[in-house]
Amino acid sequence: MEQGARILFVPFNINERHGNLPFVENMDVQHAQSGIYTPSDMQFARDGIASECTPNVETVVVHDLDLAVLERYRKSGVVTHWADRRDDLYRVEYLGPKENRGRRS
């Protein structure tokens, strides 16, 4: 967020559940389930799930997102994870592109 990210795309895949994706090369013994998740706040779905596909089915998940509403609730919603984070316990540090790590300017 400090680097300007407005939305995150996070791949999910695990090989420990029963099921598979038989039509995807090298994924025939994997489990996957895609979804679009929102803050658990008043404006959004109660469980924070805007849309979710059926597990182990090759699917495209589609849902309308209003980035202005997400921004407004990120700053002043009932649930403000970023503002309420515990800096005394951990920090989030952007390392930059992998090829630039370890270089000093």
pLDDT tens figures, 7-36: 877 776 666 655 555 676 766 666 677 888
What average pLDDT score do residues 65-79 get? 82
pTM, entire model? 0.56
Please compute the mean of the pLDDT values over residues 85-91 and round it to a whole number. Answer: 84
pLDDT band at residue 71, thresholds of 50, 70 and 90? Answer: confident
Domain range enclosing 45: 1-105
> Is 87 a residue whose pLDDT tops 60?
yes
Q: Which two tokens stand for residue 88?
A: 């005394």
Tally of domains within the chain: 1
